[in-house]
Structure 1
Amino acid sequence: MNPATRSHTHVIGMWLMASVALAFASHDAISKSLILALPVIFVAWARYLVHTLIVTGAILRKREQGAFRSKRPWLHLLRAMVLLADSLTFLFGLTHVPLAESTALVFLAPAFVTILSPLLFGIKADRLQWLSVIVGFVGVLVVINPTGDGFSLWMLFPLATAFFFAVYQLLTQLAGESDSPSVCSFYVGIFSTTLLSLVVPFHWASPSLSQCLLLLVLGGMGLSAHFLISKAYRFASSSVLAPLGYLQIVFATVYGVLFFGNYPVMTSMFGMALICVSGLLVYAKRTPASVSSSAEV
Structure 2
Amino acid sequence: MNASTRSHSHVIGMWLMVGVTFIFASHDALSKTLILALPVIFVAWARYLIHTLLVTSVILREKRKDAFHTTRPWLHLLRAVFLLGDSLTFLFGLTHVPLAESTALVFLAPAFVTILSPLLFGIRADRLQWLSVVIGFVGVLVVINPGGDGFSLWMLFPLACAFCFAVYQMLTQLAGELDSPSVCSFYVGVFSTALLSLAVPFFWAAPSPSQWLMLLVLGSLGLSAHFLIAKSYRYASSSVLAPLGYLQIVFATGYGVVFFDSYPGLSSAFGMALICVSGLLVYAKRTSAVVTN
Conserved in 1, the CA contact under 8 Å of 2:70 and 2:179?
yes
C-alpha offsets along residues 202-236 of structure 1, whole Å, 9 cap, x if unaligned?
11111111111110111012223455678899999
What is the match of residue 190 of structure 2? 190
Partners of 1:203 and 1:282 in 2: CA distance:
44
| Residue 27 to residue 75, structure 1, CA distance change in 2 (3 Å) | same
Aligned-pair CA distance for 1:40: 0.8
Aligned-pair CA distance for 1:245: 6.0
Conserved in 1, the CA contact under 8 Å of 2:129 and 2:240?
no
Unaligned runs of 5+ in 2: 1-7, 288-293
3-state secondary structure, aligned to 1:163 = helix
Letter in 2 for 1:180: S
> TM-score normalized by structure 2?
0.81
Aligned-pair CA distance for 1:256: 0.9
% identity of equivalent residues: 80
3-state secondary structure, aligned to 1:120 = helix
| Residue 280 to residue 116, structure 1, CA distance change in 2 (3 Å) | farther
Unaligned runs of 5+ in 1: 1-6, 288-297
Partners of 1:127 and 1:231 in 2: CA distance:
26
Letter in 1 for 2:141: L
What is the match of residue 24 of structure 1? 24
Aligned-pair CA distance for 1:39: 0.9
Letter in 1 for 2:63: R
| Residue 194 to residue 171, structure 1, CA distance change in 2 (3 Å) | same
C-alpha offsets along residues 102-157 of structure 1, whole Å, 9 cap, x if unaligned?
22333333221111112211223344333334333333332222222221122232
Conserved in 2, the CA contact under 8 Å of 1:107 and 1:279?
no
What is the match of residue 162 of structure 1? 162
> TM-score normalized by structure 1?
0.80
| Residue 227 to residue 73, structure 1, CA distance change in 2 (3 Å) | closer
Conserved in 1, the CA contact under 8 Å of 2:92 and 2:157?
yes
Partners of 1:35 and 1:46 in 2: CA distance:
12
Aligned-pair CA distance for 1:278: 3.5
Letter in 2 for 1:156: L
| Residue 91 to residue 114, structure 1, CA distance change in 2 (3 Å) | same
Partners of 1:107 and 1:258 in 2: CA distance:
22
Conserved in 2, the CA contact under 8 Å of 1:55 and 1:186?
yes
Partners of 1:140 and 1:284 in 2: CA distance:
21
Aligned-pair CA distance for 1:42: 0.6
| Residue 125 to residue 223, structure 1, CA distance change in 2 (3 Å) | same
Conserved in 2, the CA contact under 8 Å of 1:111 and 1:282?
no
What is the match of residue 72 of structure 1? 72
